[in-house]
Amino acid sequence: MIVARRMLADRRRATAWWAIGTAALVVFTVALYPAVKDQAQVEDLLKTMPEAFRNMIGYDAAVPMTSPAGYLHARLFSTVAPVLFLVFGIGAGAAAIGGLEETGRLEPLLANPVTRARVAAERYAAAIGLLTLLGVVFAVTLAASGRPAGALAGISAGHLIAAAAAMLALAVLHLSLAYAIGAATGRRGPSVAIPAAVAIGSYLIHSLLPMAEALAPVRYALPWYWYLQRNILAQGLPPAALIAPLAMSGVLFAIGWAAFQRRDLR
Amino acid sequence: MNGPAIHTDALTKRFGTLTAVDQLDLRVERGEVFGYLGPNGAGKTTTIRMLLDFVRPTSGTSQVLGGSGADPAVRARIGYLPADLPVDPRWTAQTLLDFYGDLRGRRDRTWERTLLDRFDLDPSRPVGELSTGNRRKVGIVQAASHRPELLILDEPTSGLDPLLQQEFLILIRELVTDGATVFLSSHVLPEVEALAGRVAILREGVVVAQAGITELRRTARTRIDLRLTVPADPAPFAALPTVVEATADGDLLRLVVEGSVDAVIKTAAALPVEQIITHEADLEDVFLSYYTTQDGGRS
């Protein structure tokens, strides 16, 4: 794992800053919970909002916004946190091959006694490792800071881990897409832009589609639906939220890995 | 250890409609320094990239050290110095040597230390903070640090000051004495002339000449200026088969001779010659003659 270790070392400083930012976001969100939990009018206000808006902030009528699970889902798990993880994941996935190749740094590496297959596999593993590390920081910070603020009341450890894992799986999927595009094209631009467009586009479709009844089945194909179909903190993990994105990630990795070995370097 | 260090057979690479390398047949023997000459864009780097499996040939084959350039076991025995060494600017020379050393699996730290000292490199400074020349030195050190059997060098001395060029030449000669083979690609002739025993001249993807350095020198053009005590007349010289060009400028006769200068000297013996000025045979002239006079009908 020499190649993977090198990539982890090269990105350790940037990842440390991301970890600090993630932890700060969690602590800040949790710290605000005591101020929200007694305000029943938030709940009433939300009930008057259009459904598309409620969808967008992850509101679920079965889980009150003032409950810990409702609050964390709306303020963290369905909004800011996945955006953070997707941005980081897409960046890591694009850097694995596309970014390295575009800067010309791949060729000197490949002049060493390593196969392309090994470099492509190890750098994918390293990107996944970096993202997972960020996920662990997120979950651990939430577990540690949530209890004193009462923001974890009624949320089992299993549900907390499941929600973090599902969010991570969503980010892994976009990371894998960025990786596959970078590995197939050797360019960083499209391997960042396309997954970002996919994430934003599918998010908009997911949040607006419920209004068009006839198109509802389309939702089932959306990664955001797998992840947001229910409040995992309150209701547990739907298996598809892990299995579907990870299976697709496996396919994307295989495509990128194979394409990278067949083509000319740029 | 038998067989050539590099062997290509009708190696061809097309990028769309552009033929970068066309039907290349090269044979580089073990232990020799082979100069690969050509202007920028002639296909030198594309050739190297095919040898190292960075790009795949459109047709034809290549063998490096008896195997494929894609094989890690073969790559472990190659030292590659790219025209530019693009690595993470935060890496130090030490980071680079450690990383590549781990990948190559066997390290000679004493030799690494010696190389760093010889090229006066501080191994703890980030590569991004180094001058072009110093970055070049890092490239040389990493290419030689595992005492490779085959060195593939792309424009090795560009950016090096004369003192370091000298150190580089000494290092390469040392490695060759120890049995290494060197494939030296360049568009600058003196660096090839100083090292290579044989050269191939590449032009628009085609080898237009392949010969020993001495052989090339023999066919090289020489410029001879004769200062006479009477007004010069180029006519008798222009009639000689070895004279490519003869012009007169007052009492000065300017001649360009291809191959032997014997006939020119014999003809000049009849004239009142005050001074002979010769310009030593330069590979550049050989190179330029291939470059400018052979309009090989390719487009």
Q: What is the 3-state secondary structure (H, E, C) of B263-279?
A: HHHHHHCCCCEEEEEEE
Reported as a single tens digit per residue, the pLDDT across B220-272 is: 777 889 999 999 899 999 999 888 889 999 899 999 888 788 889 999 998 99
Homologous superfamily (CATH) for B6-217? P-loop containing nucleotide triphosphate hydrolases (3.40.50.300)
Residue B206 is given by DSSP the state E
* Residue B162: pLDDT band with limits 50, 70, 90: confident
Q: What percent of chain A is modeled with pLDDT above 70?
A: 98
Q: In this structure, what token pair is assigned to residue A40?
A: 């029943």
| Contact yes or no for A115 and B85 at CB 8 A | no
Q: Number of residue pairs across A and B with CB atoms under 8 Å?
A: 55
Span of A212-226, B52-66, B212-226 with lowest mean pLDDT = B212-226
**Residue B202 φ/ψ, nearest 5 degrees:** -110, 135
SS3 A153: coil
B157/B134 Cα distance (integer angstroms): 11
Average pLDDT, chain B: 89
Average pLDDT, chain A: 93
* Residue B279: pLDDT band with limits 50, 70, 90: confident
**What is the pLDDT averaged over residues A79-92?**
97
What pLDDT shows up at residue B260?
82
| Contact yes or no for A111 and B78 at CB 8 A | yes
The identity of residue A182, as a single letter, is G
| Contact yes or no for A107 and B87 at CB 8 A | no
The helix/strand count (H/E) of chain B reads as: 11, 13
Is B85's Cβ below 8 Å from some Cβ in A? yes
| Contact yes or no for B70 and A264 at CB 8 A | no
From chain A, the residues in CB contact with B55 under 8 A are: 264-265
What pLDDT shows up at residue A91?
98
B20/B2 Cα distance (integer angstroms): 30
Q: In this structure, what token pair is assigned to residue A213?
A: 């009844």
| Contact yes or no for B88 and A105 at CB 8 A | yes
> Is A152 buried (19+), middle (13-18) or exposed (0-12) by CB count in 10 A?
buried
What pLDDT shows up at residue B296?
42
A245/B44 Cα distance (integer angstroms): 45
Is A111's Cβ below 8 Å from some Cβ in B? yes
Question: How far apart are the CA of B137 and the nearest CA of chain A, in angstroms?
Answer: 15
**What is the pLDDT averaged over residues A62-79?**
90
Facing residue for B103 by CB, picked from A114, A116, A265 = A114
Q: Is the pLDDT of residue A96 over 90?
A: yes
ipTM: 0.90
Query: Is the overall model pTM greater than 0.95, yes or no?
Result: no
Q: Is the pLDDT of residue B293 over 90?
A: no
CATH topology of domain B221-280: Alpha-Beta Plaits (3.30.70)
A74/A59 Cα distance (integer angstroms): 6
- Give the CA-trace dihedral at A136, A140, A146, A152, to 10 degrees: 70
What pLDDT shows up at residue B284?
61
Reported as a single tens digit per residue, the pLDDT across A3-58 is: 999 999 999 999 999 999 999 999 999 999 998 888 877 777 777 888 777 777 76
Q: Is the pLDDT of residue A95 over 90?
A: yes
**What is the pLDDT averaged over residues B204-214?**
87
Closest CA to B156 of B166, B206, B41, B91: B166
* Residue B290: pLDDT band with limits 50, 70, 90: low
What pLDDT shows up at residue B291?
57
What pLDDT shows up at residue A1?
92
Is B174's Cβ below 8 Å from some Cβ in A? no
Q: Where in chain B is the domain with CATH 3.40.50.300?
A: 6-217
What pLDDT shows up at residue A73?
94
> According to the per-residue pLDDT averaged within each range, which of A90-94, A218-222, B82-86, B284-288 is highest?
A90-94
What pLDDT shows up at residue B1?
55
Q: Is the pLDDT of residue A263 over 50?
A: yes
Reported as a single tens digit per residue, the pLDDT across A203-233 is: 998 888 776 777 778 888 999 999 999 999 9
Residues 6+ apart with CB under 8 A from B230: B251, B271, B272
Q: What percent of chain A is modeled with pLDDT above 90?
A: 78
B38/B291 Cα distance (integer angstroms): 9
**What is the pLDDT averaged over residues A170-199?**
98
Closest CA to A163 of A104, A237, A101: A237
A234/A163 Cα distance (integer angstroms): 10
Q: Is the pLDDT of residue A156 over 60?
A: yes
What pLDDT shows up at residue A62?
74
Q: Is the pLDDT of residue B7 over 70?
A: yes
What pLDDT shows up at residue B229?
92
Q: What percent of chain B is modeled with pLDDT above 70?
A: 92
* Residue B294: pLDDT band with limits 50, 70, 90: very low
* Residue B121: pLDDT band with limits 50, 70, 90: very high
Is B100's Cβ below 8 Å from some Cβ in A? yes
| Contact yes or no for A113 and B56 at CB 8 A | no
From chain A, the residues in CB contact with B54 under 8 A are: 107, 110, 264-265
| Contact yes or no for A113 and B88 at CB 8 A | no
From chain B, the residues in CB contact with A188 under 8 A are: none
What is the side-by-side order of every strand in the sheet holding B273-279? B243-249, B252-258, B221-228, B273-279
| Contact yes or no for B70 and A115 at CB 8 A | yes
**What is the pLDDT averaged over residues A192-209?**
92
* Residue B283: pLDDT band with limits 50, 70, 90: low
**Closest chain A residue to the Cα of B52, Cα to Cα:** A111
* Residue B298: pLDDT band with limits 50, 70, 90: very low
Q: In this structure, what token pair is assigned to residue B208?
A: 């237009």
Stronger pLDDT, A243 or A50, i.e. the higher one? A243
Q: Where in chain B is the domain with CATH 3.30.70?
A: 221-280
Stronger pLDDT, A57 or A94, i.e. the higher one? A94
SS3 B294: coil
